[in-house]
Homo-oligomer: A and B are copies of this chain.
Amino acid sequence: MRVFGIDCGTEFTGYGVVEADCEARTPRLVHVAAGTIRLNKKEKTPLRLAQVYAELTALMHLHLPEAVAIEDVFFSANAKSALKLGQVRGVAMLAAAVCGLPVAEYAPLSVKSSVVGHGLAAKEQVQFMVRRLLELDDAFDSADAADALAIAICHIHTAQTLQLQGAGR
């Protein structure tokens, strides 16, 4: 199972591709790719959205994931910033739909719980565990890329749990 995680942002959008053999008894997670789509703040919004869309679509075609995982956002920021984030998120989900990929959404709490073990983990703890689970030596391209890898890992853990539950029936 190969999952494409996305951490949307109006300036930086992180992506992370993780693979796991869900059939194995003790599946190992493998880091496939991760990076950051950096948007030019001077560019107008429609062109920035076109950049996110083009890069995500190209990356999905390159890495051929089976699913896309994206962070579900619940936050108390003002409506204007939620609208702007929504614009990037809409384009990311469109890229997945156009590539024929299912999209799963996970709340930040679920991502932290899945990667660290509890939902109140700090950003550093999440990054430490992502590095450990994927046996990474190098620094992350960005905090957004690390978050995107965490979201992908969360999706794999969820799929594995659902599979175990199915096998236990």
Which residues on A are within 8 Å of B, measured CB to CB?
44-47, 49-50, 53, 73-91, 93-94, 96-98, 103
> B83 contacts A53, CB within 8 Å?
no
> B89 contacts A91, CB within 8 Å?
no
Q: Which of B84, B88, B103 is in CB contact (< 8 Å) with A44?
A: B103
> B85 contacts A49, CB within 8 Å?
no
> A46 contacts B89, CB within 8 Å?
no
Can you name the residue of chain B whose Cβ is closest to the Cβ of A88?
B90
Q: Which residues of B contact A53 (CB under 8 A)?
A: 94, 98
**Chain A at the B interface: mostly helix, strand, loop or mixed?**
helix
Q: Which residues of B contact A85 (CB under 8 A)?
A: 83, 86
> B94 contacts A86, CB within 8 Å?
no
Q: Which residues of B contact A49 (CB under 8 A)?
A: 90, 93-94, 97
Minimal beta-carbon separation of A70 from chain B (angstroms): 9
Minimal beta-carbon separation of A3 from chain B (angstroms): 15
Q: Please report the C-alpha to C-alpha distance between residue A53 and residue B80 in the assembled complex, in whole angstroms.
A: 22
Q: Please report the C-alpha to C-alpha distance between residue A49 and residue B103 in the assembled complex, in whole angstroms.
A: 12
Minimal beta-carbon separation of A45 from chain B (angstroms): 6
A-B contact pairs, 14 of them (CB 8 A): A46-B93, A46-B94, A46-B96, A46-B103, A49-B93, A76-B79, A79-B81, A80-B82, A82-B86, A83-B83, A84-B86, A85-B86, A86-B89, A91-B91
